[in-house]
Amino acid sequence: MNKRIKNMAEKALAGDSFPEPVPVVIKDKSDLEDPIRIAEGLRDYLLKQPIDIRSNELIVDRYRFNKCEYPSDYYKRAGHINTNKAWSACCHASAPNDLYYWGWTHLSLDYGLILSQGLKKYIENIEKSQVEHRNNPQKNRLLEGMKISLKAIQERSLKYADKGMELAAKTKSNDEKNHYQTIASHCRKVPMYPAETFHEAIQSVWTMFLINPDSLGRIDQYLYPYFRNETKQGTLSEEHALELLQELFVKVFETQVDNLALPISGHNHLVVGGYLADGSDGYNPLSALIMEAIADLPTYRPQVSFRYTSKTTPETILYITKLNKRCPNIVFVNDEPRIPGMVKGGISYEDATEYTVIGCNEWAICGKSKFDLAHINLVHSLTNLLFNKKEKACSARTYDEFYAMYEESLRRDILSIADDYIAYYKEQAKDINVLTSALIEDCVKKAESYTNGGPKYHGLSFSFNGLSNVADSLSVIKQFVFEEKELKLNELINVLEKDWRDSESIRNNILKNARFFGNDDDYVDSLAEDIVNSIFDTREKISHPYLKNAFFGSFVGATQPNITLGKKTPATPDGRMNGEGFTMGVSQSFGKDKTGMTALLKSISKLDYSKFCGYIVSNLKMDPKMVDSDEKMQRVAQMFHAFLKLGGMQLQINYISTDELREAQKHPERYKNLMVRVTGYSGFFTAFDKDLQEDIIRRTEYKHA
Partner 1 sequence: MHNEAIVFDIQRSSFVDGPGIRTVVFVKGCNMRCVWCHNPESWEREPQILYYENRCIRCMKCVEACPYGALNESLYPDNALCKRCGICVTVCPSDARKLCGEKMSPQSVLDIILKDKAFYDVSGGGATFSGGECMLEPRFLLEVLRLCKQHNIHTAIDTAGHVPYEYFEAVDPYTDLFLYDIKCLDPELHKKFTGKDNHLILENYIKIQKKITGKTYCADSRHSSL
Considering only residues 626, 676, 696, 697, which one is a binding residue for partner 1 as defined by CB under 8 A?
Answer: 626
Strands (E), 89-142: 100-102
Nearer to partner 1 among residue 631 and residue 669 (C-beta): 631
Q: Does residue 165 interact with partner 1 by CB under 8 A?
A: no
Nearer to partner 1 among residue 165 and residue 646 (C-beta): 646
Q: How far is the CB of 645 from partner 1 (least distance, A)?
A: 6
Q: How far is the CB of 304 from partner 1 (least distance, A)?
A: 23
Q: Does residue 638 interact with partner 1 by CB under 8 A?
A: yes
Strands 650-655 and 675-677: unpaired
Q: How far is the CB of 321 from partner 1 (least distance, A)?
A: 13
Q: Alpha-carbon distance 323 to 320, whole Å?
A: 5
Q: Alpha-carbon distance 300 to 303, whole Å?
A: 7
Piece of the chain touching partner 1 by CB under 8 A; list 79-87, 320-328, 359-367, 637-645? 637-645
Q: Alpha-carbon distance 620 to 626, whole Å?
A: 12
Nearer to partner 1 among residue 207 and residue 519 (C-beta): 519
Considering only residues 315, 502, 631, 669, which one is a binding residue for partner 1 as defined by CB under 8 A?
Answer: 631
CA distances from 111 to 256, 430, 434 (A): 20, 28, 18
Q: Do 367 and 459 contact (CB within 8 A), yes or no?
A: no
Q: How far is the CB of 591 from partner 1 (least distance, A)?
A: 11
Q: Does residue 636 interact with partner 1 by CB under 8 A?
A: yes
Q: Does residue 523 interact with partner 1 by CB under 8 A?
A: no
CB neighbours of residue 169 within 10 Å: 10
Nearer to partner 1 among residue 168 and residue 639 (C-beta): 639
Nearer to partner 1 among residue 391 and residue 504 (C-beta): 504
Is-cis flag, bond preceding 191, omega within 30?
yes
Q: Does residue 520 interact with partner 1 by CB under 8 A?
A: yes
Q: How far is the CB of 635 from partner 1 (least distance, A)?
A: 4
For helices 630-645 and 314-326, the axis angle rounded to 10 degrees is: 120
Q: Do 687 and 609 contact (CB within 8 A), yes or no?
A: no
Spell out, one character per residue from 583 to 602, where the chain touches partner 1: x when CB under 8 A holds, - when not: ------------xxxxx--x
Of 693, 698, 697, 670, nearest to 683 by C-alpha is: 693
Spell out, one character per residue from 475 to 514, where the chain touches partner 1: x when CB under 8 A holds, - when not: -----------------------------xx--xx--xx-
Considering only residues 158, 257, 422, 642, which one is a binding residue for partner 1 as defined by CB under 8 A?
Answer: 642
The DSSP 8-state label assigned to residue 452 in this structure reads T
Query: Which conformational region is residue 358 in: left (phi greater than 0), alpha (psi within -120 to 50 degrees), or beta?
Result: beta
Piece of the chain touching partner 1 by CB under 8 A; list 244-252, 288-296, 438-446, 642-650? 642-650
Piece of the chain touching partner 1 by CB under 8 A; list 38-46, 214-222, 298-306, 633-641? 633-641
Considering only residues 635, 658, 668, 674, which one is a binding residue for partner 1 as defined by CB under 8 A?
Answer: 635
Q: Site residues for partner 1, window 367-426 (CB under 8 A)?
A: none
Q: Do 269 and 359 contact (CB within 8 A), yes or no?
A: yes
Q: Do 168 and 61 contact (CB within 8 A), yes or no?
A: no
Considering only residues 446, 641, 698, 699, which one is a binding residue for partner 1 as defined by CB under 8 A?
Answer: 641
Q: How far is the CB of 276 from partner 1 (least distance, A)?
A: 25
Nearer to partner 1 among residue 393 and residue 637 (C-beta): 637
Helix (H, G, I), strand (E, B) or coil at 638: helix
Of 360, 423, 367, 380, nearest to 558 by C-alpha is: 360
For helices 285-296 and 314-326, the axis angle rounded to 10 degrees is: 10
Helix (H, G, I), strand (E, B) or coil at 572: coil
Q: Do 616 and 652 contact (CB within 8 A), yes or no?
A: no
Nearer to partner 1 among residue 22 and residue 639 (C-beta): 639
Helix (H, G, I), strand (E, B) or coil at 446: helix
Size of the site for partner 1 (CB under 8 A): 27
Q: How far is the CB of 171 from partner 1 (least distance, A)?
A: 58
Piece of the chain touching partner 1 by CB under 8 A; list 137-145, 565-573, 607-615, 634-642? 634-642
Q: How far is the CB of 183 from partner 1 (least distance, A)?
A: 49
Considering only residues 47, 168, 394, 705, which one is a binding residue for partner 1 as defined by CB under 8 A?
Answer: 705
Considering only residues 1, 81, 257, 646, which one is a binding residue for partner 1 as defined by CB under 8 A?
Answer: 646
Q: How far is the CB of 632 from partner 1 (least distance, A)?
A: 5
Q: Site residues for partner 1, window 306-325 (CB under 8 A)?
A: 314
Considering only residues 639, 663, 674, 694, which one is a binding residue for partner 1 as defined by CB under 8 A?
Answer: 639
For helices 522-537 and 467-476, the axis angle rounded to 10 degrees is: 120
Q: CA angle, corner 642, sides to 641 and 644, nearest 5?
A: 65
Centroid of chain to Cα 566: 21
Q: Alpha-carbon distance 628 to 613, whole Å?
A: 34
Q: Alpha-carbon distance 45 to 47, whole Å?
A: 5
Q: Do 439 and 212 contact (CB within 8 A), yes or no?
A: yes
Q: Which residues bind partner 1 (CB under 8 A)?
A: 314, 504-505, 508-509, 512-513, 520, 595-599, 602, 626, 631-632, 634-636, 638-639, 641-642, 645-646, 705
